[in-house]
Amino acid sequence: MLSYIHNLKSGNHESFEIVFKLSHKKVYGYFFKKTNDEDMAQELTQLAFIKLWNFRHTLSEEHELDVQLFRIARTTLLDYFKKLSNDGRNLKLYYSSISEASAEQNQKFEINQQLEVALSVLPPTRKKVFILSRLQGYSYKEISEQLSISPRTVEKHISLAIKQLDGYAYVPMFILLTKFLG
């Protein structure tokens, strides 16, 4: 096989085909033994021969072609296992981030549902004033202009809403959370 090395280095396609035919089964057997997967063994075999062709200029005439081909096969297999490891790690990170995002969305939904229940006890105008002030951050003056009521009336609505919601111990926490989660 030493004569094939020289021909491969010079880009001779016929020599490459002969080397492929002579070595394909051995290389495939190596990969199948390591992966126990026919499709993967076939794919890795093809990759090894592609690397042999692409890096033919680096072949040494001092070593047997089989030795060099199996060195290429070994590095191809190591690259494959590294990729599997990285893919697994990336998949775990992806699922972890999806899970966290889903939990956060569920928490937002539950908080909004519970806040809606708590606010449903308020009369419509008082509810609107409370939402504008505490949840949307408008000033009393801005609310009074928007709703065409006096700032004193806005203040009174807020005071009454807080007293009315006082029975809902979780409302202050919801108000804080919705500002950060919204």
pLDDT per residue rounded down to tens, the chain (182 residues): 557 888 888 888 999 999 999 999 999 999 999 999 999 999 999 999 999 999 998 988 888 999 999 999 999 999 988 888 887 777 777 777 777 777 778 777 777 777 777 788 889 999 899 888 888 889 999 999 999 999 999 999 988 888 887 766 555 555 544 444 44
132, two tokens: 């504008």
Which CATH class, in words, describes the domain spanning 121-181?
mainly alpha
Q: Are 128 and 99 in contact (CB under 8 A)?
A: no
Furthest CA-CA distance within the chain: 100
Residue 134, pLDDT score: 82
Residue bearing tokens 């021969």 = 49
Q: Where are the domains of the chain?
A: 2-91, 121-181
Evaluate whether 2-91 and 121-181 have a shared fold. no
Residue 101, pLDDT score: 75
| CATH number at 2-91 | 1.10.1740.10
Distance CA 96, CA 31 (A): 33
Helices (H), 55-170: 65-119, 124-130, 140-147, 151-165
170, two tokens: 């979780």
